[in-house]
């Protein structure tokens, strides 16, 4: 680690730690402070070169009473949150200094780096310009079922980061430094005095508001600044400026629209979220217009503008006052609809073009009279926002599981006495759906909704489609079908929209999630394209979603990664053959078992030709906060997406050699078998999960609005992929991320021919390089002794669980050794010193939290309902998540 570059990070961590110590002394007293310090020092000693036994730390924690355990947990958890603030601020600091942050795998490749490489590869300016003009990155914000930090604390943490930025200023006087440190202390004191744990489960509307807040506090500023920086880089490279309506990045959301397995997301909820988004957009544009009103006081104007205003010494303000009034009316109309009150009369803004027209009129006038520099200021920023956010703030996707649509169509056919649609063969289903999609007459009338055939579940599906019809297309994105398995799954959603009277149907996007579904995706889409009606409908473009969470839960990390790669290859070739543009929608999460990886690595490890200037990606709860919660970091990450998409399009990764593909299949066959032999066939795994990990305790946390399970009291198959990852992460076993992969690597390394091929793959194939890099990072966070302690404390003398625990830890050790042999690095992350340092500096604070968590779980299982123990346990869950910077 470069001490000269990263010394400020150490200084910030030390400063925040010292201020927390002062806070603890003042609020909790010297006795508790000394207890915490003793525990911290003992924890450092267990990680030192002498390796003091973990039992010494355990002996300090076991005698503590419940109330003291809570305070100790809070202290260590708070320090880890403060460390995250320091590290995030350090990233901002280095981005400002245009220095590479060594902890970013794959390196920071901004647009300037990519443009330089394109010129070196002799890619013409026309090709670059054309690709950039058509480039489309859409980030889909989703709620996170394991987002543990309360919004009120996030706000305080942001204020702390702002103060760290101010403390970097070299021109501060001693008094100014002291003032800011005092203010920083007060924020730490306020955070310490605030309950860390959300006591009420958020509603889907709450989650949507959280997404709106991220836009308001960060992305509203970041998007125009990102576009400004990109335009400046293009100018410096002598490339043409993009058109005025250029919007390389757009935003969508699942919050309030994702109803798959979430009974709390209903048609009224979706309607409310859509209206609130329009309210928020109007409010944000109103703030912009107020600023423009204050600034655009000049008199000189074009004849075109004066024709609209009449004679005026402040013509721009005349136009802006009219815009302001319409924005205020828009807000009132949205409020009235949300509250089911009479809607005020008048013409609010219903479409983007209505707000765009007066702002463009002002822009043209300023340029016509020689005030282009003024037009390039705040007005241009507002126009950039309008290009990205429209007047709906973001586009809301709808997601529902395929069987819900099948049941709805089945209810219709039974009501019409046509038989049971659900029992029909696929060919008959398709024929019926296509015929009805082309029919001019309505399929059902209002009497259907009052019939016995229309169950509550069917009524909800149809009500959702009526909301789509009512709200119009501008605020809506994709209708995603989870567990899509057949062409009829897609056609059914199209028919349900037609039944509801949707005049501008949402595009229908099949989501292929399991291993079998990914393998069959090409056949499904090929069958759809064989239907002339459908092929004509999607001639302008098709979107397909690739699932990461469920495929990894089904087949393990390596098996899922290869299935996703092959599926994308086949789909790319299929749509190229039909000359239909394809957009791949990646359902990624934060952890590697859910596809999480740095942006550039993720895009450059995709099959060549699969990006093609278009990418759609989910960004989930904690990832949203880390990547977009701060304006400066958001600018960087947005620009990274644009640069990486351009690079992957014009400098695509090399295609896999036939021998690599064959070797990859061999690896995944071994990996999937090894993974499933434990997850599906090990009789004690469910009991181990629920005994040794906090899987059952997660339900006590008021996390997301969606239940952790699809069905109650069922096995692993019913457990959602995200809590499945979260539970193993908490005990540092990280099982979903590596299980099966180690066995595959070991088998390959035992065969000299296979070993040579694998070595070649890791050196030359970006896809496999990405797999190895991500595996290395997650294994660096795994910890055998921590996992063993959970087992010792919670499984007791259970011989069967002890046997399974020993097997899992042996497999983890084998995976680490196999990976070390593959990379040639004895120590994980030898090539990533900052991440290694980040993990090691946190270990003395996460270790006590792990031991505390196991102790609290044991006590709580004996004293169920104890509020102090419950609170302390929730704090440890949140603290460990903060320490690892990863949950599900």
| Residues labelled as active-site residues | 144, 553
In contact, 561 and 672? CB cutoff 8 Å: no
In contact, 760 and 752? CB cutoff 8 Å: no
HSE on the CB side for 203, CA within 13 Å?
A: 9
In this structure, what token pair is assigned to residue 649? 């399009």
Question: How far is Cα 887 from Cα 730, in angstroms, rounded to an integer?
Answer: 8
How many helices (H) and strands (E) the chain has is answered by 38, 8
In contact, 316 and 365? CB cutoff 8 Å: yes
Nearest-10 crossing angle of helices 174-192, 3-28 = 60
CA distance to 250, 286, 290, 308, 315, per residue, from 322 (Å):
28, 11, 12, 11, 11
The pair phi, psi for residue 425, each rounded to 5°, is: -70, 160
Q: How far is CA 437 from the centre of its chain?
A: 35
138 closest CA partner among 504, 644, 641: 641
CA distance to 54, 209, 355, 880, per residue, from 850 (Å):
11, 33, 54, 7
539 closest CA partner among 554, 525, 549, 529: 529
In this structure, what token pair is assigned to residue 23? 């806070």
Q: How many residues does this entry show for the chain? A: 888
In this structure, what token pair is assigned to residue 51? 């390796």
The pair phi, psi for residue 587, each rounded to 5°, is: -85, 65
Question: How far is Cα 744 from Cα 753, in angstroms, rounded to an integer?
Answer: 14
Question: How far is Cα 248 from Cα 157, in angstroms, rounded to an integer?
Answer: 30
Question: How far is Cα 447 from Cα 415, in angstroms, rounded to an integer?
Answer: 10
The pair phi, psi for residue 140, each rounded to 5°, is: -110, 110
Tell me the β-bridge partners of 615: 137
DSSP 8-state class, residue 149 = S
What residue ranges in 475-613 does DSSP mark as E strands? Answer: 476-482, 507-512, 542-547, 582-587
In this structure, what token pair is assigned to residue 812? 């983890």
The pair phi, psi for residue 657, each rounded to 5°, is: -70, 150
CB atoms within 10 A of CB 176: 13
The pair phi, psi for residue 547, each rounded to 5°, is: -90, 140
3-state helix, strand, coil in the chain (%, to 5): 65, 5, 25
Question: How far is Cα 808 from Cα 733, in angstroms, rounded to an integer?
Answer: 9
In contact, 220 and 227? CB cutoff 8 Å: no
The pair phi, psi for residue 480, each rounded to 5°, is: -95, 130
Question: How far is Cα 644 from Cα 648, in angstroms, rounded to an integer?
Answer: 6
In contact, 881 and 845? CB cutoff 8 Å: no
470-492: string of b/e by CB count within 10 Å (b at 16+)? ebebbbbbbbbbbbbbbbbbbbb
In this structure, what token pair is assigned to residue 507? 């595009």
Tell me the β-bridge partners of 481: 400, 510
Question: How far is Cα 131 from Cα 286, in angstroms, rounded to an integer?
Answer: 34
Question: How far is Cα 514 from Cα 391, in angstroms, rounded to an integer?
Answer: 37
């Amino acid at each position: 680690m470069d001490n000269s570059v990263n010394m400020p990070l150490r200084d910030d961590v030390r400063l925040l730690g010292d201020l927390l110590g002062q806070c603890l002394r003042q609020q909790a007293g010297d006795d508790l402070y000394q207890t915490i310090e003793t525990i911290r020092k003992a924890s450092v000693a267990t990680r030192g070169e002498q390796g003091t036994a973990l039992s010494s730390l355990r002996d300090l924690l076991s005698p503590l009473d419940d109330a003291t355990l809570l305070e100790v947990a809070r202290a260590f958890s708070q320090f880890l949150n403060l460390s995250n603030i320091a590290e995030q601020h350090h990233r901002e600091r280095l981005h400002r200094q245009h220095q590479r942050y060594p902890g970013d795998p794959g390196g920071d490749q901004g647009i300037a780096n990519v443009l330089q490489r394109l010129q070196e590869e002799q890619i013409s300016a026309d090709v670059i310009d054309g690709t950039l003009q058509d480039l489309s990155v859409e980030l889909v914000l989703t709620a996170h079922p394991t987002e543990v930090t309360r919004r009120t604390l996030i706000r305080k943490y942001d204020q702390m980061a702002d103060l760290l930025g101010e403390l970097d200023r070299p021109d501060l006087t001693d008094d100014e430094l002291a003032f800011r440190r005092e203010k920083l202390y007060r924020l730490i004191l306020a955070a310490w005095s605030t309950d860390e744990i959300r006591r009420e489960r958020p509603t889907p509307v709450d989650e949507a508001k959280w997404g709106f807040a991220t836009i308001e506090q960060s992305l509203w500023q970041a998007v125009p600044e990102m576009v400004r920086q990109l335009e400046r880089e293009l100018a410096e490279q002598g490339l043409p400026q993009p058109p005025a309506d250029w919007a390389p990045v757009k935003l969508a959301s699942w919050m309030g629209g994702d109803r798959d397995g979430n009974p709390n997301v209903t048609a009224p909820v979706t309607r409310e979220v859509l209206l609130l988004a329009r309210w928020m957009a109007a409010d944000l544009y109103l703030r912009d217009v107020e600023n423009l009103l204050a600034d655009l006081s000049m008199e000189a104007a074009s004849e075109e503008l004066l024709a609209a205003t009449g004679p005026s010494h402040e013509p721009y303000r005349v136009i802006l006052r009219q815009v302001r009034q319409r924005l205020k009316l828009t807000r009132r109309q949205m409020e009235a609809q949300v509250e089911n009150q009479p809607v005020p009369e008048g013409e609010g803004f219903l479409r983007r073009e209505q707000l765009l027209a007066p702002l463009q009129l002002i822009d043209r006038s300023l340029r016509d009279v020689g005030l282009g520099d003024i037009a390039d200021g705040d007005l241009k920023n507002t126009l950039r926002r309008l290009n990205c956010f429209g007047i709906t703030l973001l586009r809301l996707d709808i997601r529902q599981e395929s069987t819900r649509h099948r049941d709805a169509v089945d209810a219709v056919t039974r009501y019409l006495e046509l038989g049971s649609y659900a029992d029909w063969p696929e060919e008959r289903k398709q024929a019926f759906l296509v015929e009805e999609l082309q029919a001019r007459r309505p399929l059902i009338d209002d009497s259907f909704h009052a019939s016995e055939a229309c169950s509550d579940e069917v009524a909800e599906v149809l009500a959702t489609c009526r909301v789509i019809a009512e709200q119009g297309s501008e605020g809506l994105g994709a209708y995603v079908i989870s567990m899509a398995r057949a062409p009829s799954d897609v056609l059914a959603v199209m028919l349900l929209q037609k039944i509801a009277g949707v005049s501008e149907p949402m595009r229908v996007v099949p989501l292929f999630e399991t291993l079998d579904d990914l393998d069959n995706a090409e056949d499904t889409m090929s069958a759809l394209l064989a239907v002339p009606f459908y092929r004509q409908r999607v001639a302008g473009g098709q979107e397909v979603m690739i699932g990461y969470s469920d495929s990894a839960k089904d087949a393990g990390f390596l098996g899922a990664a290869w299935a996703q790669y092959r599926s994308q290859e086949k789909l790319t070739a299929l749509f190229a053959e039909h000359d239909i543009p394809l957009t791949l929608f990646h359902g990624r999460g934060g952890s590697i078992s859910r596809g999480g990886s740095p942006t550039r690595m993720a895009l450059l490890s995709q099959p060549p030709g699969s990006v093609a200037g278009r990418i759609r990606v989910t960004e989930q709860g904690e990832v949203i906060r880390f990547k977009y919660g701060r304006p400066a970091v958001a600018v960087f990450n947005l620009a990274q997406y644009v640069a990486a998409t351009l690079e992957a399009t014009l400098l695509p990764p090399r295609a896999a050699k036939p021998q690599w593909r064959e070797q990859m299949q061999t690896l995944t066959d071994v990996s999937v078998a090894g993974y499933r032999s434990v997850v599906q066939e090990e009789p004690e795994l469910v009991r181990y999960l629920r005994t040794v990990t906090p899987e059952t305790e997660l339900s006590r946390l008021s996390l997301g609005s969606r239940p952790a399970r699809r069905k109650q009291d069922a096995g692993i198959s019913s457990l959602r992929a995200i809590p499945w990852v979260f539970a193993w992460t908490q005990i540092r076993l990280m099982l979903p991320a590596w299980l099966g992969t180690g066995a595959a690597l070991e088998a390959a390394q035992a065969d000299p021919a296979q070993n040579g091929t694998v070595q070649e793959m890791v050196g030359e194939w970006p896809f496999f390089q990405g797999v190895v890099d991500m595996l290395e990072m997650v294994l660096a966070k795994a910890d055998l002794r921590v996992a063993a302690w959970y087992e010792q404390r919670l499984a007791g003398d259970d011989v069967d669980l002890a046997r399974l625990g020993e097997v899992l830890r042996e497999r983890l050790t084998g995976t680490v050794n196999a990976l070390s042999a593959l990379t040639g690095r004895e120590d994980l992350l030898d090539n990533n010193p900052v991440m290694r340092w980040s993990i090691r500096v946190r270990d003395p604070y996460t270790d006590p939290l792990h031991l505390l968590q196991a102790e609290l779980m044991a006590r709580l299982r004996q004293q169920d309902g104890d509020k102090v123990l419950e609170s302390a346990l929730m704090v440890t869950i949140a603290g460990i998540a903060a320490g690892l910077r990863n949950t599900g």
